[in-house]
């Protein structure tokens, strides 16, 4: 696999490979950091988040579940990690109620699924990763 966190595309042939990729890139991540995970339903965003969060030592892989209904999960390990899923957010009012800006009060690593729903103004460094399920059953992970 190519060196993590440099721009470019990686193809993974299984969820386990995506988890492993996530654990590898986690080793290069330092708070504060925003990680935007974009891509369609089933693209592998949560799978990658699992790899990253477990790689950061903030939780065990099986403790990382999709925040689709809870919207935000917080993990406290050697580094504080938030895992956010904005799929169900509809409009500005919802977003304001959620108060995502509060997450940025102290340095952490914030992983965001469906980041296009959040028009964020922040000076934190941001990593944009786009995922896709490909027709041949592999998945692509593109660091933009």
Looking at the Cβ atoms of 39 and 115, the one nearer to ligand ATP is: 39
Contact status: 97 vs ligand ATP (CB under 6 A): no
**Which of 10, 26, 38, 45 is in the footprint of ligand ATP by CB under 6 A?**
45
Query: Token pair of 86, please?
Result: 């904005």
Contact status: 12 vs ligand ATP (CB under 6 A): yes
Contact 22, 42 (CB under 8 A): no
| b/e burial code for range 63-102 (CB count within 10 A of at least 16 → b) | ebebbeeebbbebeeebbbbbbbbeebeeeeebeebebee
Footprint (CB under 6 A) of ligand ATP, residues 116-135: none
* Residue 106 C-beta: closest distance to Mg ion, Å: 25
* Residue 80 C-beta: closest distance to ligand ATP, Å: 21
Which x/- pattern over 46-65 shows residues binding ligand ATP (rule: CB under 6 A)? Answer: xx------------------
Contact 109, 80 (CB under 8 A): yes
Map residue 87 onto helix, strand or coil.
coil
Does the CA dihedral 135-136-141-144 come out positive or negative?
negative
Footprint (CB under 6 A) of ligand ATP, residues 17-36: 17-18
| Continuous segment of H or E residues that includes residue 108 | none
What are phi and psi for residue 78, nearest 5 degrees? -60, -25
Q: Could you tell me which stretch among 15-23, 51-59, 71-79, 92-100 binds ligand ATP (CB under 6 A)?
A: 15-23
* Residue 136 C-beta: closest distance to Mg ion, Å: 21
Footprint of ligand ATP (CB under 6 A): 12-15, 17-18, 39, 41-47, 66, 68, 87, 113, 138-139
């Amino acid at each position: 696999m190519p060196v993590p966190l440099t721009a470019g595309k990686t193809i993974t042939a299984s969820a386990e490979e995506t988890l492993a990729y996530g654990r590898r890139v986690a080793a290069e991540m330092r708070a504060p950091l925003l990680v935007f995970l974009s891509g369609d339903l089933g693209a592998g965003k949560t799978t990658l988040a699992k790899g990253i969060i477990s790689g950061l030592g903030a939780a065990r892989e099986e403790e990382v579940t999709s925040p689709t209904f809870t919207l935000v999960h917080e993990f406290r390990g050697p580094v504080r990690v938030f895992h956010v899923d904005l799929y169900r957010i509809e409009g500005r009012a919802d977003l304001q109620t959620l108060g995502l800006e509060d997450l940025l009060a102290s340095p952490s690593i914030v992983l965001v699924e469906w980041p296009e729903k959040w028009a964020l103004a922040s000076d934190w460094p941001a990593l944009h990763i786009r995922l896709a399920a490909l027709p041949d059953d592999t998945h692509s992970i593109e660091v933009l």
